[in-house]
Structure 1
Amino acid sequence: MSARGNGAVLAQLLAQEQARGGDMAVLRAIAEEAGELGATRALTRLGLADEGAAGDVAELRELLKAWRTAKSSAWRASVAWVVRMVWALLLVGLAVKLGFGEWVK
């Protein structure tokens, strides 16, 4: 279910409870506390509940960015070398076809 779908369900549940006579402010506070509790539990399970978690995530993002940059650079370098080899082979073939091989002997 999408985040927007979850919000719609929550809004519908809050509206139903308000229609039954529930106080909207209390209901919103309960929903907010439940959301915070769920988020805290999820972060704890992921090992991201401590003070250094934000720095760890930032460091992981930098590492991932560096990996993507290195991978991209490696691909570009590989393609450049292949292109250079093709041009070199083309020039050698052209030289042989035009008889420049005889000049070397």
Structure 2
Amino acid sequence: MSAADDHGAVVLAQLMAQAQMRGADVATLRAIAEEAGELGATRAMARLGLSDERAAGDVAELRELLTAWRAAKRSVWRGLLGWVVRMVWALVLVGLAVRLGFGEWVR
């Protein structure tokens, strides 16, 4: 939970306590808080364009795309590392060949 969430929870608890001292019961206050949360979440989803019936599919598709992107990045790095290792080994073998005099066989 972020600091803003912590602050919001504290403020909500303080307001509920204040309302209870003034005569409102806790069940009613909790129901109001829950409805306010639902309304806020619904508004936020609408602002993000995720309030229609296709939203769940869109989010699932975005998650698949992100998973594929991560897999592609991982493959690129592994491929690059493999290529670098092969180049290093090739240089080591060429160096050994030159050092051991195998260069004379080529001529």
TM over 0.5: yes
Report what 2:35 is aligned to. Answer: 33
Report what 2:89 is aligned to. Answer: 87
Deviation per CA, 1:22-77, whole angstroms, max 9, x where unpaired? Answer: 23222222211111111111000000011111111111111101100110110011
Structure 1 SS opposite 2:94? helix
| Structure 2 CA distance for aligned equivalents of residues 24 and 84 of structure 1 | 69
**1:7 alignment partner AA:** A
Report what 1:102 is aligned to. Answer: 104
Answering whether residue 80 of structure 2 is matched by residue 45 of structure 1, we say no
**1:18 alignment partner AA:** Q
Report what 1:73 is aligned to. Answer: 75
| Structure 1 CA distance for aligned equivalents of residues 88 and 62 of structure 2 | 39
State the Cα RMSD in Å: 1.3
| Structure 2 CA distance for aligned equivalents of residues 17 and 80 of structure 1 | 66
Moved more, 71-80 or 26-35: 26-35
User: Please, what TM-score do these two structures have when normalized by structure 2?
Assistant: 0.89
| Structure 1 CA distance for aligned equivalents of residues 4 and 70 of structure 2 | 29
User: Please, what TM-score do these two structures have when normalized by structure 1?
Assistant: 0.91
Report what 1:19 is aligned to. Answer: 21
**1:104 alignment partner AA:** V
Structure 2: 5+ residue stretches without partners: none
**1:66 alignment partner AA:** A
TM superposition shift of 1:3: 2.5
Number of matched pairs: 105
**2:29 alignment partner AA:** L
TM superposition shift of 1:84: 0.4
Structure 2 SS opposite 1:49? coil
